[in-house]
A and B are shown apart, each in its own frame.
Chain A
Amino acid sequence: MSAAARNPRLAVALGVLGLIALVSLGAPWIASHDPRAAEPENQLLEPSGEYLFGTDLLGRDVFSRVVYGGRRTLGVALLTAGITLAPGIAIGLVAGYAGRWLDWALMSVMDALLAFPSLLLALALVTVFGSGVVQIAFAVGIAGIPAYARVVRAAVLEARAVPYVEAARAIGARPAGILARHVVPAIATPLLSFAGVTLSWAILNSAALMFLGYGGDVAAPDWGVMLADGRESFRTGPWVAVAPGVALSLTVFAINLLGNSVAPPPANR
């Protein structure tokens, strides 16, 4: 608690993220309407007491869709981040610690993947995997692995150069033990900070693929899908895009703020 009190950014970030998590988890109790129920007679109504954020082109309640949308958008993003982090950490640790030809081989493949701009790589992978929520998570997640593996590797290289790790190696400690006891704790802070960057990136890119229509279910309450709906009707109903857009930006903003308040973002390379 005292950490949050001393650090106002941390407090704001945690407060906003807590609120978003609470609203997403409590969606069934907070939403005022069925997020999927189309009422053509209530098409594009302006925000009012009944429809807090107005209704969309199909007469669905935008407020309820935003509230439910957090579940899908953030759920996909968490899965995406997991798909990036687990292999990314493993590859970075192995490459950074093993060194030599294994490092060279792993990093060559990572560099080759890094040569594709991440969203383009994700798009190409969606071509391979097909449309769907899980497919998007895998496409965006895999596209993020090389960048994360590189950051992990760089941190490992720095951590293994310190004298106490050298000493542990000199007395014959096993590599796995050195990794777990000395290297991982030393690189935890930069990794955590970059994990924040990865998460906000996962949110933005998976929502981008949803926006482009690769999510399969085009009626689902989802911030990316809603932004696509909002684009269709922004001439007559600009409010349709505003609510999911603000929700998305607020989430990413809070995650970046959290990352920056825990540790400064790692320098490039």
Chain B
Amino acid sequence: MIGYSIKRFGSALFVAWLALTLAFVALRWVPGDAVDATLARGGASPGEVAARRDMLGLNDPLWRQYGDYVLGLVRGDWGESLVTEQPVAEIIRQNIGATSALSGAALLIAVTLGVALGIAASLGRWRPVRYGAEGLASLALSTPVYWTSTLAIYVFSIVLGILPGVGGEGIRYLILPAVVLGFHTAGSIAQVTAGSIRNAMGQGFVRTARAKGLPELDVLDHVLRVGMLPVVAVVALQLGFLLSGTVITEIIFVRRGLGRVLLTAIDNRDYPVVEGLVVLSALTYSAINMLADVAYRVIDPRVRMEE
């Protein structure tokens, strides 16, 4: 188990390194960055542009830039914005709270709703319940947040007037965006939950449990223990989706956060900021997946046996 954890940590580290190298290469590849754009707009001469690039180390050989970049990442120096000259690490610190609150709340809603729908769709006693839950999950999967957000703001904030719409901070402003984002994410959690429970229901131990006269409630307990396992993996995967889902949600609900920072940086070709955010999400995502893999082995002894 400990051996596995160390090995898994090693491979997560390797993947993260590969990911940030890819990000570095891709973003160095493109011609024209914010230095050119910002200084040209301000009417700077080509000489001044060159001097600024020199100062930022953008004229160094690529291997040197790469070395500085990796060392900087490790030391916590993530470079600075080409537009505002603010350190990227500081920009992230200022905005990560709002984004974490949104994705945390959305995840809570997604898991609760998704698991409930998945159980109802697979174990519901009554046919309309099963079909209704399945339909709702499909609806969630096929309605993207950039469409449900507008709808939700219109219904809850304009027609009913019970929740604030765009802008602002605090709990009341968190409800609508979290529900919209959570609803879409619940769709795939529900589908995986339902599929996995149906799969578990068809296995031999269920027949054995019933044959030896176990009360149906205990059989259900057996089924859920096995059926809920893949949900751990899918929740980890969905966290990645939430990281990108917050981009659109933050824009529509005019919220502060990393998503808004990212889009502004993309529009300005502010590469250090784009790079920093992309690397941050890759690191977060690798860490989450690693934890999910380890958790999987802790919960399910069968996976350990296969090693």
Q: Which residues of A contact B (CB under 8 A)?
A: 108-109, 111-113, 115-121, 123-128, 200, 204, 207-208, 211-212, 224, 227-228, 230-231, 234-235, 238, 241-242, 244-245, 248-253, 256-257, 264-265, 267-269
Contacts and interface: CB of A to CB of B under 8 A. Distances in A.
A116 B240 CA distance: 8
Q: Which 3 A-B pairs have the closest CB atoms?
A: A119-B244, A112-B18, A252-B142
Nearest to A111: B15
Interface of B: 14-16, 18-19, 21-23, 26-27, 29-30, 138-139, 141-144, 146-147, 149-151, 153-154, 158, 191-192, 195-196, 199, 230, 233-234, 237, 240-241, 243-245, 247-248, 251-252, 262-263, 266, 269, 271, 274, 277-278, 281-283, 285-286
Nearest to A248: B147
Contacts of A267: 192, 195-196, 199, 230
B282 A212 contact: no
A211 B141 CA distance: 18
B195 A241 contact: no
Given A212-B251, A265-B191, A267-B230, A116 B150 contact: no
Nearest to B283: A115
B14 A120 contact: no
Given A115-B19, A117-B285, A265 B195 contact: yes
Nearest to A109: B18
Contacts of B274: 124, 127
B282 A116 contact: yes
B19 A127 contact: no
Given A112-B21, A119-B248, A227-B147, 18 more contacts: A112-B18, A116-B23, A117-B240, A118-B241, A119-B245, A123-B244, A124-B26, A127-B30, A212-B248, A224-B146, A231-B149, A231-B150, A235-B158, A249-B142, A251-B142, A253-B142, A256-B138, A268-B233
B286 A115 contact: yes
Contacts of B278: 116, 120-121, 124
A112 to B, nearest CB: 4
A245 B247 contact: no
13 contacts: A112-B22, A116-B281, A119-B245, A120-B243, A120-B277, A212-B248, A212-B251, A231-B150, A234-B154, A245-B150, A249-B142, A253-B141, A256-B141
A128 B27 contact: yes
A55 to B, nearest CB: 17
Indicate the member of A112, A204, A211 with the most B CB atoms within 10 Å.
A112
Contacts of B21: 112
B147 A112 contact: no
Contact of B15 (A112, A211, A228, A249): A112
Nearest to B21: A112
A115 B15 contact: yes
B22 A113 contact: yes
B248 A127 contact: no
Nearest to A242: B151
Contact of A120 (B192, B233, B281): B281
B128 to A, nearest CB: 16
A224 B18 CA distance: 33
B220 to A, nearest CB: 21
Contacts of B141: 200, 252-253, 256
Nearest to B18: A112
A112 B142 contact: no
Contacts of B286: 115
B142 A116 contact: no
Contacts of A123: 244, 247, 262-263, 266
